[in-house]
Amino acid sequence: MGAGVIIGAVLGAASIAQSHYQGEKADDRAKESLLEQKRAQSQAVSATGSKRLQQAAAQRALQKKKPNAARIMAKKRAAAKSGIASTFLTGPGGDPNQTLGGSYSLGD
């Protein structure tokens, strides 16, 4: 019985070693898989953020306010009809002498 017990112990130890080895390999594969999932997750989040930025920029471009030229021109025409004829140089009453504050006439 001595040889059978020794053979059984050796086979048991070999089986335990094999199980331990396979367990370590499975643990390594699980760690690699987890890292790969984390990388994929961060790439997906990054891509989503980038896509959101692109969509926000496109939305801002669509909503960009443009000047209403017709309204501006209508205001200017109405002001011209109501007698407002001033500039920074002449003031609100215009320059009746057309001298622009000097003692000489325009064009002289």
Residue 87 gets which letter from DSSP?
B
Mean pLDDT of the chain, nearest integer: 78
Q: How large is the average pLDDT for residues 14-25? A: 90
- What pLDDT does residue 107 have? 58
- Given a cut of 80, is residue 17 above it in pLDDT? yes
The amino acid that residue 18 corresponds to is: Q
pTM above 0.85, yes or no: no
DSSP state, residue 105: -
Residue from 47, 71, 67, 51 nearest 59 by CA: 51
> What would the two tokens of residue 90 be?
């002449």
Tell me the C-alpha to C-alpha distance, in Å, between residue 101 and each of 30, 32, 78, 91, 97: 88, 85, 28, 10, 9
24: pLDDT confidence band, cut at 50, 70 and 90? very high
Domain ranges of the chain: 2-63
Q: How confident is the model at residue 34 (pLDDT cuts 50, 70, 90)?
A: very high
36 versus 6: which is more confidently predicted? Answer: 36
